[in-house]
């Protein structure tokens, strides 16, 4: 399984009170893949001391070189945090000159484009003369000037340094918006449907209309930009109301990045309650089944993971032998697919029984729960190593996995014979482990 710990969790593992958790994670790395992303580096960029370099080294002890990043598409590469950090520009928190800030820093220049893509024209749904009496006077100008999030940011003018430091004015406005229900008017004017101001009433309608709000009048929007816009919009529309005392402009932006990259993993872990709730909300509306855990829940998972790591192929077969109606995913056209009660060899969680004119065979694979459609090199390595340890060198003389085996996205896999059964580990979108009776293969080759 792929596990994504946010930066706060990783850095807290250095504390003595979490030393036991750190030890459990190091043991678990033989069973699961711990990842980081460019969002972790953007977190560390805000540290202007030399300590961030020791933080990068410590991060490597958890995530090795398993890096998610985005460049026109989602990418997974083996780059150590220190090596990936080197090309990043230094970060500055001096926000007096916004134009200079955004133009001189590559990362913040990217943020500028993201800000400009978030529509925020208050005049469309709230008229100044209809505002409540207690509306903060300082912020009335925000209803007259901004048409997008960047202009909203700039409208604070002389307050920009304070926005980056203690966030007092920012928190005050967020707190006011949370405590005063202006949402019904907002939703009606911007065309967001399937939400009644308190909860989602139609998930599909909400997902489509909320996304449409951010992509209208745009020729092209990447999945990355759209996800970040949707995540950042949660706060201002009040879909998920964070705690104002925790809000910080830069944190809001980077939390969205962590949620995006975490969606390509199986588990996301954080100690920040706001991040957890917003990420769960985003995953729910987009049918992403990545698990979102706090630290206590993750510790419970590690206990289960340790138990699952002791399970054998025999245990996996026995799990699949009992047909459980509640676990059946498909049962038609000679295919019976069923979820397993547990995860085996850190990968397999579904069994498929195939019946056709040639006979019957069984194969195990993994049901997709995240946004990823591919298979990582680490997953090849782990499974080949485990199965070679069980069955030995395969019939073609192959043992440990090498990436050079994959040519044009095709892999010869591993094939073993055990009495009258052929066992094959191969790739068809996802890795699978198949058990073919000899007679079945003879029939297909006849």
Output 232 or 103, whichever has higher pLDDT: 232
Q: b/e string for 272-308 if b means 16 or more Cβ within 10 A?
A: bebbbbbbbbbbebeebebbbbebeebbebbeebeeb
Q: Is there a contact between 38 and 59 (Cβ–Cβ < 8 Å)? A: no
- Indicate whether 193 and 335 sit together in one domain: no
Segment 327-352, tens digit of pLDDT: 999 999 999 999 999 999 999 999 99
Q: Is there a contact between 414 and 424 (Cβ–Cβ < 8 Å)? A: yes
To which H or E segment does residue 59 belong? helix 51-63
- Indicate whether 41 and 117 sit together in one domain: yes
Q: Given this model, what pLDDT does residue 105 score?
A: 46
Distance in angstroms (rounded) separating the CA atoms of residues 74 and 201: 32
H helices present in 166-248, as ranges = 168-179, 183-190, 203-215, 223-237
For 259, the domain range is: 1-310
N- to C-terminal Cα separation, the chain: 39
- Indicate whether 253 and 331 sit together in one domain: no
Whether residue 313 has pLDDT greater than 80: yes
What's the residue count for the chain?
446
Phi-psi region of 333 (alpha: psi -120 to 50; beta: other; left: phi over 0): left
Question: For the residues 268-293, what does the mean pLDDT come to?
Answer: 95
Structure tokens at 260: 């995006």
Segment 128-143, tens digit of pLDDT: 555 556 665 655 555 5
Q: Given this model, what pLDDT does residue 244 score?
A: 55
Q: Given this model, what pLDDT does residue 368 score?
A: 81
Q: Given this model, what pLDDT does residue 373 score?
A: 82
Output 157 or 331, whichever has higher pLDDT: 331
Output 176 or 109, whichever has higher pLDDT: 176
Question: For the residues 119-131, what does the mean pLDDT come to?
Answer: 57
- Indicate whether 321 and 304 sit together in one domain: no
Question: For the residues 287-294, what does the mean pLDDT come to?
Answer: 96
> What's 382's domain CATH number?
3.40.1000
Whether residue 223 has pLDDT greater than 80: yes
Given 245, 276, 310, the domain boundary residue is 310
Question: For the residues 135-162, what does the mean pLDDT come to?
Answer: 53
User: pLDDT averaged over the chain?
Assistant: 82
- Minimal CA–CA distance to 7: which of 50, 48, 77, 63? 63
Whether residue 100 has pLDDT greater than 50: no
Output 269 or 214, whichever has higher pLDDT: 269
Whether residue 380 has pLDDT greater than 70: yes
- Indicate whether 77 and 188 sit together in one domain: yes
Confidence of residue 177 (pLDDT cuts 50, 70, 90): low
Whether residue 114 has pLDDT greater than 70: no
Distance in angstroms (rounded) separating the CA atoms of residues 321 and 424: 19
Whether residue 158 has pLDDT greater than 50: no
Q: How many CA atoms lie within 13 A of 187 on its CB side?
A: 21
- Indicate whether 394 and 306 sit together in one domain: no
Given 252, 283, 310, the domain boundary residue is 310
- Indicate whether 373 and 433 sit together in one domain: yes
pLDDT above 90 as % of the chain: 54
- Indicate whether 126 and 75 sit together in one domain: yes
Whether residue 316 has pLDDT greater than 90: yes
Segment 23-44, tens digit of pLDDT: 999 999 999 999 999 999 988 8
Distance in angstroms (rounded) separating the CA atoms of residues 69 and 50: 24
Number of domains composing the chain: 2
- Indicate whether 137 and 184 sit together in one domain: yes
- Indicate whether 249 and 119 sit together in one domain: yes
Whether residue 122 has pLDDT greater than 70: no
- Minimal CA–CA distance to 7: which of 38, 35, 43? 43
Output 97 or 401, whichever has higher pLDDT: 401
Question: For the residues 402-431, what does the mean pLDDT come to?
Answer: 92
Confidence of residue 204 (pLDDT cuts 50, 70, 90): very high
Distance in angstroms (rounded) separating the CA atoms of residues 353 and 337: 6
Question: In terms of C-beta distances under 8 Å and separation of at least 24 residues, what long-range contacts does 275-278 make, across chains too?
Answer: 275/6, 277/240, 277/242, 278/231, 278/234, 278/235, 278/240, 278/242
Q: Given this model, what pLDDT does residue 49 score?
A: 75
Segment 230-262, tens digit of pLDDT: 998 887 777 887 665 555 555 667 899 999 999
Given 295, 310, 325, the domain boundary residue is 310
Question: In terms of C-beta distances under 8 Å and separation of at least 24 residues, what long-range contacts does 218-225 make, across chains too?
Answer: 218/117, 221/117, 222/72, 223/74, 224/70, 224/74, 224/260, 225/113, 225/114, 225/117
- Indicate whether 301 and 434 sit together in one domain: no
Alpha carbon of 205 to those of 193, 208, 220, 228, 282: distances in Å?
A: 6, 5, 21, 20, 14
- Indicate whether 396 and 302 sit together in one domain: no
Whether residue 184 has pLDDT greater than 90: no
């Amino acid at each position: 399984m792929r596990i994504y710990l946010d930066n706060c969790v990783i850095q807290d593992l250095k504390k003595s009170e979490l030393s036991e958790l750190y030890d459990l994670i190091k043991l678990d790395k033989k069973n699961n893949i711990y990842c980081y992303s460019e969002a972790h580096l953007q977190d560390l960029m805000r540290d202007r001391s030399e300590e961030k370099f020791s933080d990068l080294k410590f991060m490597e002890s958890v995530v090795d070189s398993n890096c998610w990043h985005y460049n026109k598409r989602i990418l997974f590469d083996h780059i150590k945090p220190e090596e990936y950090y080197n090309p990043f520009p230094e970060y500055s928190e001096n926000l007096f000159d916004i134009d200079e800030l955004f133009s001189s820093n590559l990362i913040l220049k990217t943020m500028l484009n993201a800000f400009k893509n978030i529509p925020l024209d208050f005049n469309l749904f709230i008229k100044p003369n209809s505002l409540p009496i207690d509306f903060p006077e300082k912020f009335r100008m925000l209803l007259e000037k901004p048409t997008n999030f960047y202009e909203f940011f700039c409208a604070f003018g002389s307050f920009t340094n304070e926005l980056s430091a203690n966030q007092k004015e920012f928190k005050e406005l967020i707190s006011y918006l949370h405590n005063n229900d202006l949402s019904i008017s907002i939703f009606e004017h911007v065309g967001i449907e399937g939400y009644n101001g308190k909860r989602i009433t139609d998930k599909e309608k909400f997902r489509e209309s909320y996304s449409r709000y951010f992509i209208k009048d745009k020729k092209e929007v990447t999945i990355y930009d759209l996800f970040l816009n949707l995540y950042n919009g949660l706060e201002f529309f009040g879909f998920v109301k964070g705690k104002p005392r925790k809000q910080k402009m830069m944190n809001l932006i980077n939390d969205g990045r962590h949620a995006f990259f975490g969606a390509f993993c199986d588990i996301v872990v954080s100690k920040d309650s706001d991040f957890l709730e917003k990420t769960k909300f985003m995953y729910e509306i987009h049918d992403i089944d990545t698990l979102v855990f706090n630290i206590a829940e993750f510790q419970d998972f590690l206990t289960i993971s340790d138990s699952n790591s002791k399970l054998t192929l025999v245990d996996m077969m026995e799990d699949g032998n009992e047909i459980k109606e509640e676990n059946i995913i498909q049962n038609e056209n000679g295919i019976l697919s069923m979820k397993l009660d547990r995860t085996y060899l850190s990968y397999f969680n579904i069994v498929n029984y195939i019946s056709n004119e040639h006979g019957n065979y069984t194969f195990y694979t993994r049901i997709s729960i995240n946004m990823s459609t591919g298979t990582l090199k680490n997953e090849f390595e782990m499974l080949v190593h485990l199965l070679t340890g069980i069955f030995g060198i395969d019939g073609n003389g192959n043992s440990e996995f090498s990436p050079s085996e994959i040519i044009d996205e095709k892999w010869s896999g591993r094939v073993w014979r055990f009495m009258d059964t052929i066992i094959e580990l191969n790739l068809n979108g996802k890795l699978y482990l198949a058990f073919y009776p000899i007679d079945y293969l003879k029939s297909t080759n006849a």
